[in-house]
Amino acid sequence: MHGYLLTAYGPPTSHRMSEMPDLKPAPGHVLIRNEAIGLNYPDALMVQGKYQKRPEPPFVPGRDCAGTVIAAGEGVEGFNPGDRVVAQVFTGAFAEQVQAPLNRVFARPAAVSSADAAGAMTVFNTAYVAVVIRAGVKAGDRVVVTGAAGGVGAAAVQLAANLGAHVVGIVSSEEKAELARQSGAEKALILTDREEEPLKAAFKDQVRRAWGDDRGAQVVIDTVGGAMFQAGLRALGFAGKLVIVGFASGEIPAAKANYLLYNNLCVMGAPLDIHFDEALDQIRAGTAWWLGLLAEGKARANVTATLPFDRLMQGLQDILDRRVTGKLVVDVGARA
C-alpha cells in the first residue's frame, strides 16, 4: 500500500508518499480500505512536531478517514468486510489502509459519501461535544458561535440550529457571513477588530442585543480564544455558559474568577478525544445523529475542495497559510 510514513518531523511539504507493507487486522481493530481523508489543522501541527502529543517517528499521521471494511480483528463484532465506515484515529489515516480501534469506527449511511463523512468527522464530533454534551443546547436557546465560518464553528452553527436554537455567528468578512447564514445562523455579525477592549464593547453593544433586548445568550461556543474569549463572556446573560473549543487566534486566554462569580457564569472545555474513552455511548449517539442529518440533507460537510492523494501535504500547507475556506478532503484513489 501507499501512504505517508514520517521518519522525522518537518514542514508539511518536506514529507513524501512512500510504499509500505499491507496491514493485517489487529485484535480489537477494524481494518479499513481508505477512500477519503479529511484534513485538519491539528494534522498540520502533527507533521511538524508541534501538536500537543508527539508520537515518536516513524509513524503514519492523520486522523479522519472513510471507506469500507477489509477485515475485522479478533474480538470485534458488528463490522464485516464491505461495510461502509468512517473513523477517527489518533494516527494512521494518511494511508491506503487504516487500522482503527473499535471505539473510533462508526457505520456510515449509504447516502453519505466517503468524502463528506471524512470531511465532517472531527469537526462535527467536536461541535457535538461542545453544543450537546457540554452546553446542553435545547430548542429556543440563544447561542453565539465565534469563528462561525471555520470547520468546527460552521458545524456548531448547524447542530445548534437543528436543535431549534437561535444562533448568531461571529465572522470577519461578508463571504464568511454568507457561509454562517447558510449553516443556519439567524444573524451573522462581521467583527474585524481584534483588540480586546473594542471587541468587548462590540459584544456588549451588538452581540448581546442581537435578539432585540439585553438578556444576552445562554451559550457561547468559542473556537477562537484570545480577545474573542474575553469578549464572549460579555455576550452571556444570567447563568450563561461559555464553551471553549479551541484557540484559532493562537492566544490562550484566562478568565477572571470574580467576573464569573458576580455574573453567575460558567466556563467549560469541550475536548473531543477523551470522550472516545470516557463517554463512548454519547459519541456513538452523536455521530449517528449528525451522519443522519448529512444523509437527510439537513446539514452539510462544507467540503470545498478535493485533492489527489499525492497533494495531501500541500493541502496541509494551504491550511497553515490560511488559504482554505471550508473543508479540504483527499481522494485516496486519485493522483495528480
Cα–Cα distance between 156 and 271 in angstroms, integer?
A: 14
Place of cell 438578556: 215
pLDDT averaged over every residue in the chain:
95
Amino acid code (one letter) for 326: G
| 300 has a pLDDT exceeding 80 | yes
Residues 283 and 225 in one domain: no
- Confidence at 195, pLDDT banded by 50, 70, 90: confident
| 325 has a pLDDT exceeding 80 | no
* Cell numbers linked to 37: 481523508
313 near 13, Cβ under 8 Å? yes
Residues 154 and 77 in one domain: no
Cα–Cα distance between 180 and 147 in angstroms, integer?
A: 9
Residues 192 and 315 in one domain: no
Q: Do the domain assignments include residue 127?
A: no
Backbone angles phi, psi at 47, to 5 degrees: -70, -20
pLDDT of 5 reads: 97
Radius of gyration of the chain from its Cα atoms, rounded to whole angstroms: 20
Residues 239 and 117 in one domain: no
Bond preceding residue 58 cis, omega within 30 of 0: yes
Cα–Cα distance between 283 and 260 in angstroms, integer?
A: 29
Domain count, the chain: 2
Q: Identify which of 187, 197, 181, 125 has the alpha carbon closest to the alpha carbon of residue 155.
A: 125
- 106-110 average pLDDT score: 97
Q: Do the domain assignments include residue 126?
A: no
pLDDT (tens digit per residue) in 133-165: 999 999 999 999 999 988 899 999 999 999 999
- The more confident residue out of 64 and 327 is 64
Q: Do the domain assignments include residue 297?
A: yes
- 293-303 average pLDDT score: 96
Q: How much of the chain, in percent, has pLDDT values that exceed 90?
A: 87
Cα–Cα distance between 41 and 47 in angstroms, integer?
A: 10
Which pairs from 101-108 meet CB under 8 Å and 24+ separation? Answer: 101/28, 101/29, 102/28, 102/29, 102/30, 102/75, 102/76, 103/276, 103/277, 103/280, 104/276, 105/30, 105/32, 105/79, 106/284, 106/287, 106/288, 106/291, 107/79, 107/83, 107/288, 108/66, 108/84, 108/291
Cα–Cα distance between 198 and 110 in angstroms, integer?
A: 48
pLDDT (tens digit per residue) in 221-251: 999 999 999 999 999 999 999 999 988 888 8
Tally of CB atoms within 10 A around 20: 16
Residues 21 and 86 in one domain: yes
Q: Do the domain assignments include residue 219?
A: yes
Residues 172 and 260 in one domain: yes
Domain containing 149 — which CATH number? 3.40.50.720
pTM above 0.75, yes or no: yes
242 near 216, Cβ under 8 Å? no
Q: Which domain holds residue 185?
A: 136-269
pLDDT (tens digit per residue) in 14-26: 999 999 999 999 9
pLDDT of 298 reads: 97
Residues 140 and 262 in one domain: yes
Q: What is the DSSP letter of 296?
A: T
Q: Do the domain assignments include residue 130?
A: no
Domain containing 309 — which CATH number? 3.90.180.10
Q: Identify which of 244, 239, 245 has the alpha carbon closest to the alpha carbon of residue 265.
A: 239
pLDDT of 150 reads: 87
Amino acid code (one letter) for 166: H
Cα–Cα distance between 115 and 38 in angstroms, integer?
A: 7
Concatenated DSSP letters of 187-244:
EEEE----SHHHHHHHIIIIITTTTSSS--EEEEEESS-THHHHHHHHTEEEEEEEEE
Residues 6 and 110 in one domain: yes
